[in-house]
Amino acid sequence: MNMKYLLSIGLLAAMFIQGPSLRADEGMWLVNMLNRITMAEMSEMGLNLTAEEIYDINNASLKDAIVRLNGGSCTGEVISSQGLVLTNHHCAYDAIQGFSSTANDYLTDGFFALEKGQEKHIEDFYISFLVRIDDVSDRILADVTADMDETTRQATIAEASKAFLALMNPEGTKELDLKSFYYENEFYLFEYQSFKDIRLVAAPPESVGKYGGDTDNWMWPRHTGDFSMLRIYADENNEPADYSETNVPYQPKRHLRISMDGVSEGDFTMVMGYPGSTDRFLSSWGVEQALSLYNPSVVEVRDMKLTTMKKHMDADPAVRIQYAAKYAQTANYWKYYIGQSKGLKRLNIQSEKAELEARFTDWVNGDANRLSEYGEALELIEGYYADTDASVKGKVYALEAGLIGSDISLFAFRFNRMAAGLFSEDAEEVAATQAMLTDYVAGFYREYDQSTDRDLFVNLMTKFRDDIETAYHPSFFQLVQDKYKNDFNRYADKMYANSFLVDADRCSEFIANPSMKKLEKDLAITVGKSAINTYFAGMQNPAQAKFDRGYRLLVKGIREMDSDQAIAPDANSTMRLTFGQVAPYKAADAVNYDFITTANGILEKKDNSNPEFVVPDALDALIRSRDFGPYADENGELAVCFIHGTDITGGNSGSPVIDGNGDLIGLAFDGNWEAMSGDIAFEHDLQRTISVDVRYIMWILDKFAGANNLIEEMDFVSGLR
């Protein structure tokens, strides 16, 4: 194997100043707002870059190598001058599943394109680069006054936003996204450039990319090679273009080099990516509602959904492939909410929030002007939760069981909405709608099994009926009661026998020869319309004004009260930077975890009778041969994963772990079980990001897959630490 090593002899000494203790550092910082405090902390830990080398709109910077997948579902990073993108295996899971069949099972066997002609175009997948961020708070809030009621305030902001976006994008050619921060106390404008010709390049088998399965999910120690590779293609001018065989690999402004130095305890790390959502300002009343109502409701519904899917997946290999992504997505946050509840209780987060609220009250009451501005904040928030406690469980079931529980509900709603164009008097609109629906339907049926879906429908709707008060039921429940003896099995018998939506051929016939009468009488359409109406009814909350005003005032007040502290905004799928050190942690009494795992642990966990811990013979032999080559650490071991104290959440999956020189050392893919409450309250002593060591990724590509073509196009660095 040949590598392009870029050596720097002058930087062989340690480059960071280690503080007296190692811990996780809170903060998902906007990359255009790396203030003096943040930069000073990072420099002290070992960062050798300037703020401009991280984010610059005029020159290539690190932000130009970080990409957003599908609007924020995951993050990726460009790692070659030919548009090669690294992300998590689970971020490309849908695509891998879509290319898989019982004849070519890429989920089980893996996929590695040994030349560009073998790369597979992924439909309906796009990758976005951040162009720039601008603080536009003054423009959006110019006409907002403190005495406005919430309805007027929202209308004023909406009008200002619409006018501003029209001004900034008069021809509609720019991709702009206006986002609020700190509960609408600030507003920022984001500009992106998106590419739609994306191709699958590499994916390890599930026995590598998903090693440990649901058992190890959110757990440390971990031995999962959670990675995959994509490639961005562009037109001859290096600009975004629809898929074409004539497109060429994209040439990025910046790509990350691969560091071969590995990690040691205390090393500086930073993660850049697109964290989806946190709720760090949640009140004590919000924590109580989450613990007693919201979280257990999600877990209950998803538990039944997982059990139902697994029964069918275990019985039929084809169904296992069809439902693999759905099962993984459902299981991920099923376990997340279990862990979050345990963490909130174990760490006594509700009391911590109450203490902050007491301090806030004392601060507010200490000044007449503060009392006038912020005095109502906590009362409004407490009132909101008192008003909504009764409806929370029904709201969860409306989504988890009603709308997305079975495939037929959401499919019927979407089909009905899209089908409006079939009845247009404009022949071109009809043709366009037919083409759009044909594509949508084809994609749906690739991942649909009627028998599985029927069981999901009956089981989840029955649970919905039995667990939730009648006031929060979908309207079609009354039809089931009146005409089908309150038996969802009877309704399902007729729906799955007669609805054109449960069969690809009958669905295609309807698209070709639409009938409004047939559409309106279809029992699946009845379910879809009822489910979406129930969901939206749950979203419409008369108490929302209390929530909006209360939290906006609370957050503004906290930032004023603690003005000597840098307080990061909640995550909202915008590019953020977080930093911290590689560090072990104490998980519980007498339970201490090291900061790194090795390939030895893969064999220790091996159990080929358990699908979650299968180790293929080829991988087993490679590990036992200890042919780790240049990917071994200083002790001759092959590091697999490591942990470090950075602040991440969902959406950060696939984010690069970057060292003090701006080089890639790992790939973030998970958080740790003991700190699952971290989205609500960050735990400095416990919070860890779990990442794949980049050397393990390279070893899999090189030794396991023989994908030397990919190794050759990357830039490697060593000896910089």
The stretch 363-367 carries a mean pLDDT of 98
In this structure, the chain runs to a length of 721
Residue 88: closest CA among 393, 332, 368: 332
Task: For the domain covering 5-126+196-276+568-718, report its CATH number.
Answer: 2.40.10.120
Q: What percent of the chain has pLDDT over 70?
A: 97
Q: How far is CA 426 from the centre of its chain?
A: 40
Could you state, in order of their start, the residue ranges of all structural domains in the chain?
Answer: 5-126+196-276+568-718, 129-194, 284-539
- Statement: residue 10 has pLDDT above 60: no
Q: Cα torsion for 319, 324, 326, 328, to the nearest 10°?
A: 150
The stretch 689-706 carries a mean pLDDT of 98
pLDDT at 12: 32
Residue 91: closest CA among 675, 577, 670: 670
Catalytic residue among 64, 216, 226, 570: 226
pLDDT at 600: 98
The stretch 671-682 carries a mean pLDDT of 95
Q: At what angle do helices 450-467 and 407-418 cross, to 10 degrees?
A: 100
Catalytic residue among 80, 207, 259, 653: 653
pLDDT at 21: 55
CA 644 to CA 23: how far, in whole Å? Answer: 9
Catalytic residue among 64, 80, 90, 341: 90
Those residues whose C-beta lies under 8 Å from the C-beta of residue 331, and which sit 6 or more positions away, are: 214, 217, 302, 306
Look up 90 and say whether it is catalytic. Answer: yes
> In this structure, what token pair is assigned to residue 363?
């601060």
Q: What percent of the chain has pLDDT over 90?
A: 92
- Statement: residue 41 has pLDDT above 70: yes
Convert the pLDDT of each residue in 498-519 to its tens digit: 999 999 999 999 999 999 999 9
b/e sequence 636-659, b meaning 16+ C-beta within 10 Å:
ebbbbbbbbbbbbbbbbbbbbbbb
Whether residue 380 contacts residue 286, with contact meaning beta carbons closer than 8 Å, is answered with no
Task: Decide the pairing of beta strands 228-234 and 5-7.
Answer: unpaired
Convert the pLDDT of each residue in 331-347 to its tens digit: 998 999 999 999 999 99
pLDDT at 721: 62
| pLDDT band at 22; cut points 50, 70, 90 | low
- Statement: residue 3 has pLDDT above 80: no
pLDDT at 538: 77
pLDDT at 537: 86
Residue 394: closest CA among 462, 338, 474, 460: 474
